Every structure is written in structure tokens, then in C-alpha cells.
């Protein structure tokens, strides 16, 4: 029975070439990726903060790195929990966003702008937070309501062209067939026809 291969360094050390001795550079990791003897040198100020990477190009961004914690203000942009001064502001902001989405679904993509407009008119003058949310939702819903309206118009036009095209083609084809039958002395009964005149 043959023996499975051994990992490097296991068993007889004579079968593998010895690793070349390396002298670690100052601040460079030692063999195997471990810190050099004595640890890493202290930072000199040109390194990124711990846990971060320097941006492309290796230079810190203009103005330096953001403070620990992401650099974003806590408590939202308007001071209250989640950025709202009170629950009424939060409710009106949600009406602007969710109402716009529901309006788009219910109206077939045309009236999504109504709920953000109502939120902006009802509470936007009293709360800058609600106004900001309502304006963002209103701008988005207006654009996509216009796209939806154009889509509906194009659909109606396209269906109109399809109907006209179908009438022309069917009238031409079945008119030719009926003419051929009449030439043979037969009365042709048109398909897809109604008896309006008797």
C-alpha cells in the first residue's frame, strides 16, 4: 500500500529544501506573514486609521479621514430620533413615500404624485423634514407619472395602429377570397362578421 503525500515540513526534513533565511525589513512582516521581531514600528501619521484602507493612489482624501464612527451625525439630520422632530412628521414623510408608491400601483402608474403633494401642502410649511421628504417623493413620482402617462398614450396609439392594421389586412385578405368565390358563382360568408343589415 502506498503512503499518501505528506505536507511540506512533515516527516523527513531531508526531502524538502530548507527555506531561505530572510531578514525582515523595518516595518515589513516577517516570514509567514507574522510581525517582525519586536512588533511593528509606531505609526508615523501617514497611515490610514486602523481598520481602514487608503483610497486609490495611496493619498488621504482631501480634508483627511473622517472621524471614527463613520463621520455621520447621530440622531438624524433634524435632531430627533431617526431624524424626525416628532411622530407626526414621521407619519407625513411615510405618507409622502408610501402613498406615492400605492398611488402608482392603484392608478396604473399615473397618479403617484398626489400623496407627496398632499403631504407637502399639509405639513411641508411647518416642518422642513416633511418638506424635504415630500419634495423628494414628489419629484420622483412626477417623473415616473409622466413616463406612465406617455406609456398609456403610446399603448393606445399602438393598439390603434394594430386595429387599423388588422382591419386593412383582414379586409384585404377576406375581400380577395370573397371576390374569388363570387367569380366562381358562390356566396362567401365572411368570418368575424355581424349581421347589422338584413
pLDDT tens digits, one per residue of 139-197 = 888 888 888 888 888 888 888 777 778 888 888 888 888 888 788 777 777 887 777 66
* pLDDT of amino acid 179: 85
> Among positive and negative, which fits the CA dihedral 89, 93, 96, 102?
negative
* pLDDT of amino acid 87: 86
Helix (H, G, I), strand (E, B) or coil at 13: helix
In 3D space, the residue among 143, 144, 99 whose CA is nearest the CA of residue 119 turns out to be 99
In sequence order, which residues have a C-beta less than 8 Å from that of residue 73 and are 6 or more positions away?
A: none
* pLDDT of amino acid 17: 57
Three cell numbers written together for 47:
497611515
Helix (H, G, I), strand (E, B) or coil at 144: helix
Q: CA 129, CA 132: separation in Å to the nearest integer?
A: 5
Three cell numbers written together for 140:
420622483
End-to-end Cα distance, the chain: 101
In 3D space, the residue among 29, 48, 49 whose CA is nearest the CA of residue 40 turns out to be 29
pLDDT tens by residue, 29-87? 555 556 556 666 666 666 555 555 555 555 666 666 555 555 444 444 444 445 677 88
* pLDDT of amino acid 75: 45
> Among positive and negative, which fits the CA dihedral 185, 186, 187, 191?
negative
83, 77 in Cβ contact below 8 A?
A: yes
* pLDDT of amino acid 76: 46
8, 14 in Cβ contact below 8 A?
A: no
Mean pLDDT along residues 7-22: 58
Which residue bears the cell 398614450?
A: 153
Q: Give the domain ranges of the chain.
A: 81-183
Higher pLDDT, 192 or 117: 117
pTM of the prediction? 0.47
Q: Is the pLDDT of residue 118 over 90?
A: yes
Which residue bears the cell 529544501?
A: 17
Amino acid at each position: 500500500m502506498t503512503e499518501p503525500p505528506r505536507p511540506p515540513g512533515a516527516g523527513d526534513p531531508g526531502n524538502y529544501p530548507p527555506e531561505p533565511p530572510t531578514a525582515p525589513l523595518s516595518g515589513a512582516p516577517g516570514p509567514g506573514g507574522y510581525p517582525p521581531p519586536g512588533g511593528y514600528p509606531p505609526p508615523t501619521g501617514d497611515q490610514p486609521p486602523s481598520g481602514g484602507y487608503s483610497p486609490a493612489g495611496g493619498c488621504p482624501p482631501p480634508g483627511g479621514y473622517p472621524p471614527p464612527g463613520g463621520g455621520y451625525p447621530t440622531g438624524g439630520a433634524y435632531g430627533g430620533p431617526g431624524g424626525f422632530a416628532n411622530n407626526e412628521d414621521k407619519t407625513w414623510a411615510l405618507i409622502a413615500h408610501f402613498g406615492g408608491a400605492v398611488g402608482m400601483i392603484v392608478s396604473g402608474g399615473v397618479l403617484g404624485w398626489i400623496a407627496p403633494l398632499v403631504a407637502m401642502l399639509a405639513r411641508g410649511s411647518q416642518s422642513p423634514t416633511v418638506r424635504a421628504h415630500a419634495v423628494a417623493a414628489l419629484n420622483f413620482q412626477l417623473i415616473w407619472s409622466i413616463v406612465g402617462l406617455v406609456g398609456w398614450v403610446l399603448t393606445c396609439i399602438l393598439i390603434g395602429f394594430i386595429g387599423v392594421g388588422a382591419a386593412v389586412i383582414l379586409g384585404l385578405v377576406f375581400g380577395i377570397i370573397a371576390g374569388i368565390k363570387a367569380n366562381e358563382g358562390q356566396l362567401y360568408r365572411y368570418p368575424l362578421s355581424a349581421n347589422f343589415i338584413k
